[in-house]
Structures are given as structure tokens and as C-alpha cells.
Amino acid sequence: MKSRYLIALLLLIPLADSLALVGLAAFVFPWTVMVALVVLTGLIGMLLVRAEGRHTMRKLERNLSAGEIPTDQLLDGGLLIAAGAFLLTPGIVTDALGFLLAVPVTRYPIREAVKRFVAKPYLDRKMDGFVSGNVWTGGFPQQETYDVDPNSYRFDREDESESG
């Protein structure tokens, strides 16, 4: 059910892009200025993504050499890949999304939201609670308890002596 909404959202982005381009070109800027603006934002965005990618790789290598897990850098790398894809797609809406993901000031809160609301619940579901520490260390995880009557079990000593 969630994938339907994701696909619908991904299909609405080009529609919003085309409506924004046509609206701005019809009422604000001439077509040539709009085309130049789209190309210029794409080029500037790709230079920004490239620089941020290099910075993220340096931080990732530094964390790995120190023996630390580079979780933030890996998420930043994924967000930078998404930013590059958005910036390569011509349009104003996709360029705005790309710049939001490429600039560190806005990327860090997005990274923390992805970590908290997407990655951690997904990994927790797949790893049965080991990511958040919600694991059972003893007993049974069910909340229900059963009272067992000791007289309901029958142990016959005769069966053991006959068979062996």
C-alpha cells in the first residue's frame, strides 16, 4: 500500500516541474531565460554535489581508519546520490529538492529524519529488535501467562522401565 503512494508522489514531481516551468515561462521569464536557468542550476548543483561527495568520502575514510562505523556518511552519500539525480532532472521543483539534499545545512536534518523514521524502524523490523535494543533476554515475549495445574501431567515410570 505504501509503494502506491511513493509511485504517485514520484509521478507528481514531473507534473509539478512542468507546471512550474510553464507558469514561470509564461508570466515571469522568457523561454530562453528559463532554459538557461535550468541548465545553470543543474551545473551549479552538480559541482556542489561533487564537492560534498568528496568531503563525505574523506569523512568516511577518516571514520573507517579510526575503527568507527560511518553511519552518517553512508546516509549522506545516499542523500547526495538522490540530490544528483534530482539536479540532473530538468525542472525547478527537482532542482529545489536537489539543493535541499545537497546543502549540508538542510541535509543534516533530513539525514536525522531518515535515520529516525525510515532506517531504524526498517532495520528493527528486519532484525527483530536488535537495532533499538528491544530484545527479549529471558522468558517468553508474550504478555499472557498460563497457570498449569501440576495434576494435569501424568508421568508413568512403568513406560520407561519397560522400554529400556
Q: How far is CA 19 from CA 13, 23, 32, 97, in A?
A: 10, 6, 17, 16
Task: Provide the pLDDT for residue 161.
Answer: 53
Q: Whole-number mean pLDDT of the chain?
A: 83
CB 84 within 8 A of CB 98: yes
Q: How far is CA 159 from CA 152, 154, 155, in A?
A: 18, 11, 9
C-alpha cell at 14: 514531473
CA dist 132 and 162 (Å) reads 53
Mean pLDDT of 93-121: 92
In this prediction, residue 126 has a pLDDT band, given cuts at 50, 70 and 90, of confident
Task: Provide the pLDDT for residue 127.
Answer: 80
Task: Provide the pLDDT for residue 144.
Answer: 58
In this prediction, residue 114 has a pLDDT band, given cuts at 50, 70 and 90, of very high
Task: Provide the pLDDT for residue 130.
Answer: 76
Q: How far is CA 76 from CA 114, 141, 154, in A?
A: 10, 36, 63
In this prediction, residue 119 has a pLDDT band, given cuts at 50, 70 and 90, of confident
The residue with greater pLDDT, 61 or 140, is 61
CA dist 47 and 163 (Å) reads 81
Sequence-ordered list of residues with C-beta below 8 angstroms from that of 48, at least 6 positions apart, any chain: 99, 102, 103
